[in-house]
């Protein structure tokens, strides 16, 4: 089974450069969590992954200024695996929408996929 949280929007002050730390930027976060329920038919929140809990953790992590997106995707993936023991695999992608590079059109993203050991 998979739970996805897509196109989550956060404003944050992540980046290496002073301008990014002062002005901030818009970030999009996408998450896919693969898990194996212990029951055949999931009928209770305790048998699945609470996406509200996941969102609140992501919001907390995204609210802390961090120089590298690589650090953020790792923290989010690790936290999901830590908080949800039924999670088998987590994919996290963070997209920075506006880069402080002259004439750069587009966006950039960093992603990670982590599996439970």
Nearest alpha-carbon partner for 59 in 70, 72, 47 = 72
Cβ neighbors of 17 (< 8 A, separation 6 or more) are: 100
- How confident is the model over 35-58, as pLDDT tens digits? 999 899 999 998 999 999 999 999
pTM (2 decimals)? 0.93
Confidence band for 34, pLDDT divided at 50, 70 and 90: very high
Look at residue 96 and give its three-state secondary structure: strand
Domain CATH for 107:
3.30.1130.10
- How confident is the model over 53-81, as pLDDT tens digits? 999 999 999 999 999 999 999 999 999 99
Per-residue pLDDT at 21: 85
Rounded CA separation 104/102 (Å): 6
Q: In total, how many domains does the chain have? A: 1
The range of the structural domain enclosing residue 47 comes to 2-115
């Amino acid at each position: 089974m998979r739970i996805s949280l897509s196109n989550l929007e956060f404003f944050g002050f992540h980046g290496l450069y002073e301008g990014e730390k002062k002005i901030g930027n818009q970030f999009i976060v996408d998450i896919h969590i693969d898990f194996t329920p212990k029951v055949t038919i999931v009928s209770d929140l305790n048998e699945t992954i609470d996406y509200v809990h996941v969102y609140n953790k992501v919001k907390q992590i995204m609210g802390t200024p961090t120089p590298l997106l690589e650090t953020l995707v790792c923290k989010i993936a690790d936290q999901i695996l830590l908080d949800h023991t039924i999670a088998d695999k987590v994919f996290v992608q963070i997209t920075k929408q506006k880069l402080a590079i002259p004439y750069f059109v587009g966006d950039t993203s960093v992603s990670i996929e982590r599996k439970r050991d």
